[in-house]
Amino acid sequence: MRVPVYPDDLIRNRGFKSLSKQLQKQWHGSAPISLADAQKALAQGLGYKSFYDLSETSKVCQPGEPVPPEADVRQAIGSAIKATLQPIDELNLERLVNDLPLTNLVAFKRVQVSSGARHSLLSELVRGAQPGLSKEHVQTLEKILAESGSLRDRALFACMLGALRQNEFLSARMRHGDAVYGVKIRENKNVIDAIPDRHRSMFEQYIKTSKLSDGEYLFRAANAPERPLSPDALRKICVSWAGKADIDAGLLTPHAIRKTTYNYADFIRQISDSMGHHSANTSLAYAVGLPTTSSTVH
C-alpha cells in the first residue's frame, strides 16, 4: 500500500509537512520526538522507505493515482509509529493517529464523490443494504457462525453488526468487568451497549468463558495474549468466513458488514443532527472521510 504524495504536499505548512508537525506536536510519549523522527514514521506509514524516498517519489507522482482507504492508511501509520518511535500507550497512539488530518494531503483532497453517487449510496444505507454485500449475505453468515460454535467469531461478528468501527472493537479492553472502547479523551463506551439485542447473551457468554481480566483486550492475538487481535488477523478471519458462506472475500470486510446495518444509517442521521448538516449527503461524506465541498488544488 502506498499513498500518492505530490510536490504540493512538501510545501511548508501544507500536506505531508503539516501532518509531520502535528505528529511531533501531539506526541505524548516518554520523551519528545524530532521533526525528522515524525517525518520518517509518517513516510513509512504512507508506504515509503524513508522521507527521502517519499520526497524523490513525489517528483514523479502522476495525477489520479489510486488512493488506499483511509482506515487502512491510519492503521499503517499506527504500525509504523510503533515500529520506528519510542513506546507509547495504545489509547494515546489510537487518538494520535485518528486525529491526523489526512485530508491535508493532495491525494485525499482529490477524493470526490458526485452528489448523485452520494445520494444513491445513502439510499442503500437507509434501506439497510450496500451494493456488493447484501443483507442476505450477512444473514447467511450469521447462521453459519451460529452453527460454528466459535464464541469469539460470533462476538466479533456481533460487534460489526453493532456498527462498531474496526479500531473500536479491536482496541476494546476489560474495565471493572465490562468491555469498553475509547471514543474521546477520558471517555469510554461499553461495547455491550452497541451489540444487537439478539446477540447480547452470546456476547456476555464469550466474555465470561474467556475469563478476561481488567486491562486485557476483548479480542487477543493468538500467540501474544497481551496484544490485541491485529487487523491482518481479522482480515484472515473474514476471509475464512467468506469461504464458509460462499461470499466473495473481497466483499466481506468489517466495514462492509457495518454498513449493512440499520445502526449505520442511524449513525449517518445522528451526524447530520449533531453537526447541523442540511443534507444527508454531507453527513455521509463526513462519515466516510470525504471532503464535503469541492476544493481546488494548486
Residue with cell 454531507: 282
**Would you list the domain boundaries of the chain?**
7-109, 129-260
Q: Which three cell numbers stand for residue 100?
A: 491526523
Mean of all residue pLDDT scores within the chain: 80
Residue 188 φ/ψ, nearest 5 degrees: -135, 155
The residues pairing with 87 across neighbouring beta strands, listed in sequence order, are none
> Lowest-confidence range among 83-87, 103-107, 183-187, 197-201?
183-187
CA–CA gap between residue 41 and residue 211 (Å, rounded): 36
- Do 220 and 209 contact (CB within 8 A), yes or no? no
CA–CA gap between residue 215 and residue 218 (Å, rounded): 9
> What was the pLDDT predicted at 4?
93
Note the pTM of the prediction, 2 decimals.
0.48
Average pLDDT rounded to a whole number, residues 127-150: 79
CA–CA gap between residue 198 and residue 165 (Å, rounded): 20
CA–CA gap between residue 267 and residue 283 (Å, rounded): 9
Closest CA to 182 of 90, 102, 81: 90
> What was the pLDDT predicted at 127?
47
Residue 295 pLDDT class (50, 70, 90 cuts): very low
pLDDT digits (tens, 9 = 90+) for 11-68: 988 899 999 999 998 888 778 899 999 999 999 999 999 999 999 999 998 887 888 8
Average pLDDT rounded to a whole number, residues 208-230: 90
